[in-house]
Amino acid sequence: MAGILEALEENQCDAYVAYDSSDNEDMRYLSGFLATDPYIYVCRKDGGKFLIVSSMEELRARRESPCSIVTRTAAGFAELLQETGDAESATARMIQNFCGNRLLVPYSMPVGFARALEKTAEVSVDRDTVLSMRAKKTADEIEKIRAVQKKNEAGVALAVDAVRKAEVDENGGLLFEDSPLTSERLRAIMHEAFFRMGLDDKDTIASCGADTALPHAKGEGQLFANQPIVLDVFPRDIETGYFADMTRTISKGKPSDEICRMYEVVHEAKELAVSLIRAGVSGADVHNAAADYFAEKGYVTAGTSGFIHSLGHGVGLAIHENPSLSVRGGILEEGNVVTVEPGLYYPGIGG
C-alpha cells in the first residue's frame, strides 16, 4: 500500500478512508472482503489498515480480509448515534475519532457522505492513487485473469461451434438444431457455459451483418450466412472478481471481399500493436501505430466510420481500467494487463 502512504504524506493527511460496498472495485481490492452493504476501509499514515464493519460481519471479515477488523460498536457508533440522532453524522464522527482530523478520501465517495465527513474533519480528495495501484498486477492477479480467459475461450468456442454446425435456410438464415440461430441464442449458449464455470457475464455482444458496424451493438434476431458475426465477450469470475475480455469475428461461409480485406488488415494491426507493447512504451504510441497502419492501408477514419475507438484498455477487477491504449495513454509498466482490440467499422459494409 505504498501508493496510499505516499498520497497521505503528499496531502498531509492522517488516514485514507473509503466507505462503500465491495461492488466498488477499489474497496474489493483494498479490503479483500465481500459485502453488499457499505463498510469502512482505513489506512492510517503509520501503515495500519483496518475495516470497520457491523458486528454481524466481524467473524467473516476476520476470515477474509488481511486488514485488522474493528466493529462499529467498538468504534463507538452506538453512543454517537444516540448523541447525534443521525446515522450518517454518527458514522462521520466515528471515522474522525478513529482516524484523525485530516482525511484523504477517494474520488468515488458519495457526495452526501463526503459532506457529512467535512463537518467533522478536513477532507482532501484523491483521484487515482488506487486506480494506479490496481493497474500494476501481481503474479497472483495475472494468474486469476489468465484463468478467466481460459474459461472465456472455452465458452466462445461453443458459440463458434454452433455457427460452424448451423445449416442455412432458403433465406440465408442460420439454423441450429432445427431452429433459428439468433444473437440471443448464441449469447445463451455462452451464458449457460459460463454459469457452469463460475463466471458471470452481461452485455455480451453477438452481432451480425449491418449491426457489426456499430461498436457495442448487442445484436438481435437471426444470424445469417456470408455475413460477419462479431463476438465481444467479457465475463467475470464470481469468486475472484477478475474479468477477461476477448473479441472474435467469424462467419458461416465467405463474407464479402471488403469484409475479408478488413479482417486481414485488422489482424495485421493487432499483430503490429502486440509487437510494440513493453514496459516504457506509451499507450498512445501503440494506439497511434495501429491508427497509422489503418490509414496506410487506405482505411480512413471520419465521424462514425473507420477506427473509431481506442486500441485497448486495462482489465482486472473492472472490465475497463488503467492503463489505456489510446491517444491519452501513458507509459506502460511491468505488471500492466491490457486488451488489444483494433477494429474497423463502416456503415453499409460492416465491422
pLDDT of 17-67, one tens digit each?
999 999 999 999 999 999 999 999 999 999 999 999 999 999 999 999 999
| Distance between CA atoms of residues 241 and 22, nearest Å | 10
pLDDT of residue 216: 87
Check whether residue 185 and residue 220 sit in a common domain: yes
Domain that holds residue 319: 256-351
pLDDT of residue 2: 83
CATH number for the domain harbouring residue 29: 3.40.350.10
Cell triple for 274: 502486440
Check whether residue 150 and residue 240 sit in a common domain: yes
Check whether residue 314 and residue 279 sit in a common domain: yes
pLDDT of residue 48: 95
CATH number for the domain harbouring residue 204: 3.90.230.10
pLDDT of residue 45: 95
Residues in the chain predicted with pLDDT less than 50, given as ranges, are none
Question: Which of 135, 157, 189 represents a domain boundary (last residue)?
Answer: 135
Check whether residue 17 and residue 80 sit in a common domain: yes
Check whether residue 102 and residue 175 sit in a common domain: no
- CB-CB contact of 16 with 4 (8 Å): yes
Question: Which of 86, 104, 135 represents a domain boundary (last residue)?
Answer: 135
| Distance between CA atoms of residues 203 and 160, nearest Å | 18
Starting at the edge strand found earlier in the chain, the sheet holding 167-168 runs 167-168, 174-176, 179-180
Q: CA nearest 191: which of 179, 204, 181?
A: 204
Q: pLDDT tens digits for 193-203?
A: 999 999 999 89
| Distance between CA atoms of residues 33 and 68, nearest Å | 12
Question: Which of 135, 166, 194 represents a domain boundary (last residue)?
Answer: 135
Check whether residue 124 and residue 25 sit in a common domain: yes
pLDDT of residue 35: 94
Check whether residue 49 and residue 82 sit in a common domain: yes
Check whether residue 245 and residue 276 sit in a common domain: no
Q: CA nearest 206: which of 182, 224, 226?
A: 182
Check whether residue 50 and residue 117 sit in a common domain: yes
Check whether residue 163 and residue 212 sit in a common domain: yes
Check whether residue 31 and residue 119 sit in a common domain: yes
Q: How many domains does the chain have?
A: 3
Check whether residue 245 and residue 296 sit in a common domain: no
Q: CA nearest 16: which of 28, 27, 24, 8?
A: 8
